[in-house]
Amino acid sequence: MTLFDRYLAGQLLAYFGFFSLVLVAVYWVNRAIGLFDRLIAGGSNVLTFLEFTALALPNVIHAVLPVSALVATLYGLNRLSTDSEMVVAQTTGISPWRLARPVLIFGLAVAAMVSVLGHVLVPLSRTALAERGEALSQDVTARFLKEGEFLHPGRGVTVYVRAVTPEGELLGLFLQDRRSPAVRTSYTAERAFLVRVDGQTRLVMFDGMAQTLEVETRSLVVTTFDDFAYDLAGLAGGESDARRRDPREMPTAALLRADAATQAVTRADVAELRAEGHARVTEAIFALGLPLLALGCLMLGGYSRLGLWRQILGAVVAAILLRMLGNVAETTARDDAELWWMLYVPAFLTVALGAALVWRSTYGPRLIRPRGVPA
Protein backbone atom coordinates (compact mmCIF):
# COMPACT_ATOMS: atom_id res chain seq x y z
CA MET A 1 0.00 0.00 0.00
CA THR A 2 1.48 3.30 -1.08
CA LEU A 3 1.49 6.55 0.86
CA PHE A 4 -1.46 7.89 -1.15
CA ASP A 5 -3.47 4.73 -0.48
CA ARG A 6 -2.83 4.98 3.24
CA TYR A 7 -3.70 8.67 3.27
CA LEU A 8 -7.01 8.38 1.39
CA ALA A 9 -8.10 5.17 3.13
CA GLY A 10 -7.23 6.71 6.50
CA GLN A 11 -9.25 9.83 5.72
CA LEU A 12 -12.25 7.74 4.69
CA LEU A 13 -12.01 5.60 7.83
CA ALA A 14 -11.84 8.70 10.02
CA TYR A 15 -14.95 10.19 8.40
CA PHE A 16 -16.60 6.78 8.56
CA GLY A 17 -16.04 6.58 12.32
CA PHE A 18 -17.47 10.06 12.85
CA PHE A 19 -20.60 9.53 10.76
CA SER A 20 -21.14 6.08 12.29
CA LEU A 21 -21.14 7.58 15.78
CA VAL A 22 -23.60 10.28 14.75
CA LEU A 23 -26.00 7.90 12.98
CA VAL A 24 -25.82 5.29 15.76
CA ALA A 25 -26.55 7.99 18.35
CA VAL A 26 -29.55 9.30 16.41
CA TYR A 27 -30.92 5.81 15.72
CA TRP A 28 -30.29 4.70 19.30
CA VAL A 29 -32.02 7.72 20.84
CA ASN A 30 -35.14 7.10 18.74
CA ARG A 31 -35.33 3.49 19.84
CA ALA A 32 -34.26 4.14 23.43
CA ILE A 33 -37.18 6.49 24.10
CA GLY A 34 -39.77 3.78 23.46
CA LEU A 35 -37.69 1.15 25.27
CA PHE A 36 -37.29 3.44 28.28
CA ASP A 37 -41.04 4.02 28.49
CA ARG A 38 -41.82 0.29 28.33
CA LEU A 39 -39.24 -0.80 30.88
CA ILE A 40 -39.68 1.98 33.41
CA ALA A 41 -43.48 1.76 33.18
CA GLY A 42 -43.18 -1.95 33.86
CA GLY A 43 -41.28 -1.35 37.10
CA SER A 44 -37.71 -1.97 35.85
CA ASN A 45 -34.77 0.16 36.94
CA VAL A 46 -32.27 2.21 34.96
CA LEU A 47 -29.66 -0.57 35.01
CA THR A 48 -32.08 -2.88 33.20
CA PHE A 49 -32.67 -0.16 30.62
CA LEU A 50 -28.91 0.25 30.06
CA GLU A 51 -28.53 -3.52 29.72
CA PHE A 52 -31.23 -3.72 27.06
CA THR A 53 -29.85 -0.78 25.11
CA ALA A 54 -26.35 -2.29 25.17
CA LEU A 55 -27.69 -5.58 23.79
CA ALA A 56 -29.54 -3.69 21.04
CA LEU A 57 -26.46 -1.73 19.91
CA PRO A 58 -24.95 -4.42 17.60
CA ASN A 59 -28.14 -4.50 15.55
CA VAL A 60 -28.22 -0.70 15.37
CA ILE A 61 -24.57 -0.52 14.28
CA HIS A 62 -25.12 -3.23 11.68
CA ALA A 63 -27.99 -1.24 10.18
CA VAL A 64 -26.13 2.08 9.89
CA LEU A 65 -22.66 0.96 8.75
CA PRO A 66 -23.47 0.80 5.00
CA VAL A 67 -25.08 4.23 5.17
CA SER A 68 -22.06 5.58 7.06
CA ALA A 69 -19.74 4.16 4.40
CA LEU A 70 -21.64 5.93 1.62
CA VAL A 71 -21.79 9.25 3.47
CA ALA A 72 -18.12 9.07 4.49
CA THR A 73 -17.02 8.39 0.91
CA LEU A 74 -19.11 11.21 -0.53
CA TYR A 75 -17.98 13.66 2.12
CA GLY A 76 -14.32 12.65 2.01
CA LEU A 77 -13.93 12.76 -1.77
CA ASN A 78 -15.92 15.97 -2.04
CA ARG A 79 -13.69 17.60 0.56
CA LEU A 80 -10.57 16.43 -1.28
CA SER A 81 -12.00 17.95 -4.44
CA THR A 82 -12.88 21.21 -2.71
CA ASP A 83 -9.39 21.50 -1.22
CA SER A 84 -7.90 20.81 -4.70
CA GLU A 85 -6.13 17.71 -3.38
CA MET A 86 -8.00 15.59 -5.92
CA VAL A 87 -6.87 17.89 -8.74
CA VAL A 88 -3.25 17.65 -7.62
CA ALA A 89 -3.50 13.85 -7.43
CA GLN A 90 -4.98 13.61 -10.93
CA THR A 91 -2.36 15.96 -12.43
CA THR A 92 0.37 13.65 -11.16
CA GLY A 93 -1.04 10.91 -13.38
CA ILE A 94 -3.26 9.00 -10.94
CA SER A 95 -5.96 7.32 -13.00
CA PRO A 96 -9.52 6.68 -11.77
CA TRP A 97 -8.71 2.99 -11.34
CA ARG A 98 -5.66 3.93 -9.29
CA LEU A 99 -7.88 6.21 -7.23
CA ALA A 100 -10.35 3.38 -6.72
CA ARG A 101 -7.79 1.18 -4.94
CA PRO A 102 -7.87 2.95 -1.53
CA VAL A 103 -11.65 3.25 -1.86
CA LEU A 104 -11.86 -0.51 -2.36
CA ILE A 105 -9.59 -1.04 0.63
CA PHE A 106 -11.95 1.10 2.68
CA GLY A 107 -14.93 -0.82 1.30
CA LEU A 108 -13.34 -4.15 2.25
CA ALA A 109 -12.80 -2.90 5.80
CA VAL A 110 -16.45 -1.88 6.06
CA ALA A 111 -17.59 -5.19 4.55
CA ALA A 112 -15.50 -7.07 7.13
CA MET A 113 -17.15 -5.11 9.96
CA VAL A 114 -20.61 -5.78 8.55
CA SER A 115 -19.79 -9.49 8.20
CA VAL A 116 -18.60 -9.83 11.79
CA LEU A 117 -21.68 -8.03 13.05
CA GLY A 118 -24.13 -9.88 10.82
CA HIS A 119 -22.75 -13.39 11.27
CA VAL A 120 -21.60 -13.28 14.91
CA LEU A 121 -22.46 -10.29 17.10
CA VAL A 122 -26.03 -9.55 15.99
CA PRO A 123 -27.29 -13.18 16.38
CA LEU A 124 -25.63 -13.44 19.81
CA SER A 125 -27.04 -10.12 20.97
CA ARG A 126 -30.52 -10.98 19.72
CA THR A 127 -30.43 -14.28 21.61
CA ALA A 128 -29.27 -12.59 24.79
CA LEU A 129 -31.88 -9.85 24.36
CA ALA A 130 -34.69 -12.37 23.85
CA GLU A 131 -33.64 -14.46 26.84
CA ARG A 132 -33.26 -11.41 29.05
CA GLY A 133 -36.66 -10.12 27.95
CA GLU A 134 -38.27 -13.47 28.70
CA ALA A 135 -36.67 -13.57 32.14
CA LEU A 136 -37.83 -10.03 32.82
CA SER A 137 -41.38 -10.84 31.77
CA GLN A 138 -41.41 -13.72 34.24
CA ASP A 139 -39.97 -11.60 37.05
CA VAL A 140 -43.29 -10.29 38.31
CA THR A 141 -41.74 -9.60 41.72
CA ALA A 142 -39.95 -6.50 40.38
CA ARG A 143 -43.22 -5.24 38.92
CA PHE A 144 -44.96 -5.35 42.30
CA LEU A 145 -42.24 -3.55 44.24
CA LYS A 146 -43.08 -0.07 42.98
CA GLU A 147 -45.17 2.05 45.27
CA GLY A 148 -47.70 4.73 44.49
CA GLU A 149 -48.39 3.72 40.86
CA PHE A 150 -50.88 1.54 39.04
CA LEU A 151 -48.91 -1.24 37.35
CA HIS A 152 -49.94 -3.81 34.75
CA PRO A 153 -47.67 -6.88 35.19
CA GLY A 154 -49.88 -8.94 32.87
CA ARG A 155 -52.73 -8.52 30.43
CA GLY A 156 -55.94 -7.97 32.38
CA VAL A 157 -54.15 -7.50 35.71
CA THR A 158 -53.80 -4.21 37.59
CA VAL A 159 -51.80 -3.76 40.80
CA TYR A 160 -51.44 -0.82 43.17
CA VAL A 161 -49.26 -0.71 46.28
CA ARG A 162 -49.42 2.26 48.63
CA ALA A 163 -46.00 1.66 50.20
CA VAL A 164 -43.20 -0.90 50.33
CA THR A 165 -41.23 -1.39 53.54
CA PRO A 166 -37.47 -2.06 53.56
CA GLU A 167 -38.30 -5.67 54.46
CA GLY A 168 -40.32 -6.07 51.25
CA GLU A 169 -43.75 -5.92 52.87
CA LEU A 170 -46.46 -4.47 50.62
CA LEU A 171 -48.82 -2.08 52.40
CA GLY A 172 -52.21 -1.04 51.07
CA LEU A 173 -52.45 -3.56 48.23
CA PHE A 174 -55.05 -3.47 45.46
CA LEU A 175 -55.13 -6.27 42.86
CA GLN A 176 -57.69 -6.65 40.07
CA ASP A 177 -57.83 -9.76 37.89
CA ARG A 178 -59.79 -9.36 34.61
CA ARG A 179 -58.22 -12.22 32.67
CA SER A 180 -61.44 -14.27 32.68
CA PRO A 181 -64.21 -12.79 30.49
CA ALA A 182 -66.89 -14.27 32.77
CA VAL A 183 -65.55 -13.31 36.21
CA ARG A 184 -63.72 -10.24 37.51
CA THR A 185 -62.13 -10.31 40.94
CA SER A 186 -60.69 -7.44 42.95
CA TYR A 187 -58.49 -8.03 46.02
CA THR A 188 -57.65 -5.51 48.72
CA ALA A 189 -55.35 -6.21 51.66
CA GLU A 190 -53.76 -4.24 54.46
CA ARG A 191 -50.42 -5.94 53.86
CA ALA A 192 -48.94 -8.66 51.67
CA PHE A 193 -45.71 -10.51 50.89
CA LEU A 194 -44.25 -12.02 47.74
CA VAL A 195 -42.87 -15.51 48.41
CA ARG A 196 -41.31 -18.27 46.32
CA VAL A 197 -42.76 -21.77 46.75
CA ASP A 198 -41.48 -24.67 44.62
CA GLY A 199 -40.11 -22.25 42.04
CA GLN A 200 -43.43 -20.37 41.76
CA THR A 201 -44.12 -16.81 42.91
CA ARG A 202 -47.13 -16.36 45.16
CA LEU A 203 -48.68 -13.27 46.69
CA VAL A 204 -49.73 -13.85 50.32
CA MET A 205 -52.26 -11.25 51.47
CA PHE A 206 -53.39 -10.54 55.05
CA ASP A 207 -56.48 -8.83 56.46
CA GLY A 208 -58.20 -8.27 53.16
CA MET A 209 -61.28 -8.68 51.05
CA ALA A 210 -62.09 -10.31 47.69
CA GLN A 211 -64.92 -8.95 45.50
CA THR A 212 -65.97 -11.30 42.72
CA LEU A 213 -68.26 -10.00 39.95
CA GLU A 214 -70.04 -12.40 37.58
CA VAL A 215 -70.28 -10.42 34.34
CA GLU A 216 -73.31 -12.20 32.89
CA THR A 217 -75.55 -12.05 35.97
CA ARG A 218 -74.02 -8.84 37.38
CA SER A 219 -73.96 -10.47 40.83
CA LEU A 220 -71.26 -9.48 43.31
CA VAL A 221 -69.83 -11.80 45.97
CA VAL A 222 -67.76 -10.25 48.76
CA THR A 223 -65.44 -12.42 50.87
CA THR A 224 -63.23 -11.27 53.72
CA PHE A 225 -60.13 -13.21 54.72
CA ASP A 226 -57.38 -13.17 57.31
CA ASP A 227 -54.83 -14.57 54.89
CA PHE A 228 -55.00 -15.59 51.26
CA ALA A 229 -52.40 -16.86 48.75
CA TYR A 230 -52.70 -15.72 45.15
CA ASP A 231 -50.78 -17.78 42.58
CA LEU A 232 -48.86 -15.55 40.14
CA ALA A 233 -47.88 -18.39 37.78
CA GLY A 234 -48.52 -17.41 34.19
CA LEU A 235 -49.33 -13.81 35.16
CA ALA A 236 -46.89 -12.39 32.58
CA GLY A 237 -47.99 -14.71 29.86
CA GLY A 238 -45.21 -17.27 30.29
CA GLU A 239 -45.50 -20.68 28.68
CA SER A 240 -44.04 -24.01 29.61
CA ASP A 241 -43.12 -24.72 26.02
CA ALA A 242 -39.70 -23.93 24.65
CA ARG A 243 -39.23 -20.43 23.41
CA ARG A 244 -39.64 -19.91 19.68
CA ARG A 245 -36.33 -18.59 18.39
CA ASP A 246 -36.25 -15.83 15.86
CA PRO A 247 -34.44 -16.80 12.62
CA ARG A 248 -32.22 -13.74 13.15
CA GLU A 249 -30.83 -15.45 16.27
CA MET A 250 -29.64 -18.54 14.41
CA PRO A 251 -26.10 -19.08 13.04
CA THR A 252 -25.67 -18.48 9.34
CA ALA A 253 -24.72 -22.09 8.61
CA ALA A 254 -27.94 -23.34 10.24
CA LEU A 255 -30.00 -20.85 8.22
CA LEU A 256 -28.44 -21.92 4.93
CA ARG A 257 -29.00 -25.61 5.73
CA ALA A 258 -32.60 -24.94 6.79
CA ASP A 259 -32.92 -28.48 8.09
CA ALA A 260 -35.84 -29.90 10.05
CA ALA A 261 -34.26 -29.10 13.43
CA THR A 262 -33.82 -25.42 12.56
CA GLN A 263 -37.37 -25.24 11.21
CA ALA A 264 -38.70 -26.78 14.42
CA VAL A 265 -36.82 -24.34 16.65
CA THR A 266 -37.76 -21.23 14.66
CA ARG A 267 -41.14 -22.43 13.30
CA ALA A 268 -40.16 -20.86 9.98
CA ASP A 269 -40.15 -22.40 6.52
CA VAL A 270 -37.16 -23.10 4.30
CA ALA A 271 -37.60 -19.95 2.20
CA GLU A 272 -37.55 -17.63 5.20
CA LEU A 273 -34.51 -19.31 6.76
CA ARG A 274 -32.43 -19.31 3.58
CA ALA A 275 -33.41 -15.75 2.77
CA GLU A 276 -32.17 -14.61 6.18
CA GLY A 277 -28.88 -16.48 5.75
CA HIS A 278 -28.15 -15.15 2.26
CA ALA A 279 -29.20 -11.63 3.29
CA ARG A 280 -26.31 -11.57 5.76
CA VAL A 281 -23.86 -12.33 2.96
CA THR A 282 -25.32 -9.81 0.53
CA GLU A 283 -25.29 -7.06 3.15
CA ALA A 284 -21.49 -7.19 3.23
CA ILE A 285 -21.31 -7.13 -0.58
CA PHE A 286 -23.63 -4.13 -0.63
CA ALA A 287 -21.44 -2.35 1.92
CA LEU A 288 -18.41 -3.05 -0.30
CA GLY A 289 -20.09 -1.65 -3.41
CA LEU A 290 -21.42 1.60 -1.94
CA PRO A 291 -18.03 3.38 -1.62
CA LEU A 292 -17.13 2.35 -5.19
CA LEU A 293 -20.52 3.60 -6.39
CA ALA A 294 -19.92 6.93 -4.62
CA LEU A 295 -16.51 7.28 -6.27
CA GLY A 296 -17.91 6.51 -9.71
CA CYS A 297 -20.71 9.04 -9.36
CA LEU A 298 -18.39 11.80 -8.14
CA MET A 299 -16.12 11.32 -11.15
CA LEU A 300 -18.94 11.98 -13.61
CA GLY A 301 -18.84 15.31 -15.43
CA GLY A 302 -16.19 17.98 -15.35
CA TYR A 303 -15.26 20.83 -13.07
CA SER A 304 -18.05 23.15 -11.95
CA ARG A 305 -18.09 26.17 -9.68
CA LEU A 306 -21.30 24.85 -8.19
CA GLY A 307 -19.44 21.86 -6.79
CA LEU A 308 -20.36 18.18 -6.96
CA TRP A 309 -23.86 18.40 -5.55
CA ARG A 310 -25.44 16.85 -8.65
CA GLN A 311 -23.08 13.87 -8.52
CA ILE A 312 -23.69 13.51 -4.77
CA LEU A 313 -27.45 13.59 -5.31
CA GLY A 314 -27.11 11.00 -8.07
CA ALA A 315 -25.12 8.68 -5.79
CA VAL A 316 -27.71 8.99 -3.00
CA VAL A 317 -30.62 8.34 -5.36
CA ALA A 318 -28.84 5.33 -6.89
CA ALA A 319 -28.13 3.90 -3.42
CA ILE A 320 -31.77 4.34 -2.38
CA LEU A 321 -33.06 2.65 -5.54
CA LEU A 322 -30.64 -0.25 -5.11
CA ARG A 323 -31.69 -0.66 -1.48
CA MET A 324 -35.35 -0.68 -2.52
CA LEU A 325 -34.52 -3.30 -5.13
CA GLY A 326 -32.83 -5.31 -2.41
CA ASN A 327 -35.97 -5.15 -0.25
CA VAL A 328 -38.08 -6.39 -3.16
CA ALA A 329 -35.63 -9.23 -3.79
CA GLU A 330 -35.67 -10.20 -0.11
CA THR A 331 -39.46 -10.29 -0.04
CA THR A 332 -39.49 -12.48 -3.15
CA ALA A 333 -36.87 -14.83 -1.71
CA ARG A 334 -38.85 -15.24 1.52
CA ASP A 335 -41.85 -16.41 -0.51
CA ASP A 336 -40.02 -18.90 -2.72
CA ALA A 337 -37.03 -20.95 -1.53
CA GLU A 338 -35.78 -21.42 -5.11
CA LEU A 339 -35.37 -17.68 -5.66
CA TRP A 340 -32.67 -17.10 -3.00
CA TRP A 341 -30.25 -16.04 -5.75
CA MET A 342 -32.27 -12.86 -6.32
CA LEU A 343 -30.83 -11.47 -3.08
CA TYR A 344 -27.41 -11.25 -4.74
CA VAL A 345 -28.62 -9.28 -7.76
CA PRO A 346 -28.90 -5.83 -6.09
CA ALA A 347 -25.63 -6.34 -4.18
CA PHE A 348 -23.56 -7.32 -7.22
CA LEU A 349 -25.37 -4.69 -9.29
CA THR A 350 -24.09 -2.06 -6.84
CA VAL A 351 -20.50 -3.25 -7.31
CA ALA A 352 -20.91 -3.54 -11.09
CA LEU A 353 -22.44 -0.08 -11.40
CA GLY A 354 -19.62 1.48 -9.39
CA ALA A 355 -16.99 -0.33 -11.47
CA ALA A 356 -18.71 0.70 -14.72
CA LEU A 357 -18.73 4.37 -13.68
CA VAL A 358 -15.03 4.23 -12.81
CA TRP A 359 -14.36 2.49 -16.12
CA ARG A 360 -16.25 5.23 -17.95
CA SER A 361 -14.19 7.90 -16.19
CA THR A 362 -11.03 6.11 -17.31
CA TYR A 363 -11.84 5.47 -20.97
CA GLY A 364 -14.54 8.04 -21.65
CA PRO A 365 -18.23 7.59 -22.47
CA ARG A 366 -17.55 5.55 -25.64
CA LEU A 367 -16.10 2.27 -24.44
CA ILE A 368 -16.22 0.67 -27.90
CA ARG A 369 -14.89 2.83 -30.73
CA PRO A 370 -15.07 2.09 -34.46
CA ARG A 371 -11.91 0.70 -36.03
CA GLY A 372 -9.62 3.40 -37.27
CA VAL A 373 -11.08 6.16 -35.08
CA PRO A 374 -8.43 7.55 -32.66
CA ALA A 375 -9.22 7.54 -28.95
Alpha carbon 262 to its chain centroid, in Å, reads 22
Proportion of the chain above pLDDT 90, given as a percent: 43
Report in angstroms the alpha-carbon separations of 322 from 73, 100, 277, 346. 17, 21, 20, 6
Biggest CA pair distance of the chain: 107
Task: For residues 73 and 57, give the distance between their C-alpha atoms in angstroms, rounded to a whole number.
Answer: 24
Beta bridge partners of 227: 206
- One domain for residues 127 and 155: no
In a domain, 83, yes or no: yes
Residue 375, pLDDT > 60, answer no
pLDDT at 38: 64
> How many domains would you assign to the chain?
2
Instruction: Report, as an integer, the average pLDDT of 311-339.
Output: 92
- One domain for residues 79 and 128: yes
pLDDT tens digits for range 278-288: 999 999 999 99
Supply the DSSP symbol for 343: G
> Which DSSP helix (H) or strand (E) runs through 333?
helix 309-335
- pLDDT band of 239, cuts 50, 70, 90: very low
- One domain for residues 218 and 308: no
pLDDT tens digits for range 23-68: 998 888 877 776 766 666 555 667 777 788 888 889 999 999 999 9
Task: For residues 250 and 265, give the distance between their C-alpha atoms in angstroms, rounded to a whole number.
Answer: 9
- One domain for residues 110 and 248: yes
Residue 364, pLDDT > 70, answer no
The 3-state DSSP class for residue 212 equals strand
Query: What is the pTM assigned to this prediction?
Result: 0.71
pLDDT tens digits for range 240-295: 445 678 899 999 999 999 899 999 998 889 999 999 999 999 999 999 999 999 99
Full residue range of the structural domain in which residue 172 is found: 146-231
pLDDT at 148: 82
Tell whether the torsion through CA atoms of 94, 97, 103 and 105 is positive or negative: negative
In a domain, 374, yes or no: no
- One domain for residues 115 and 163: no
Task: For residues 187 and 234, give the distance between their C-alpha atoms in angstroms, rounded to a whole number.
Answer: 18
Last residue of a domain, one of 206, 231, 256: 231
- One domain for residues 210 and 288: no
> 29 or 317: which carries more pLDDT confidence?
317
Amino acid at 72: A
> 78 or 373: which carries more pLDDT confidence?
78
Quote the mean pLDDT of the chain: 83
- One domain for residues 14 and 76: yes
The 3-state DSSP class for residue 9 equals helix
- pLDDT band of 151, cuts 50, 70, 90: confident
> 77 or 154: which carries more pLDDT confidence?
77
pLDDT tens digits for range 172-223: 999 998 888 889 999 999 999 888 776 667 889 999 999 999 888 888 999 9
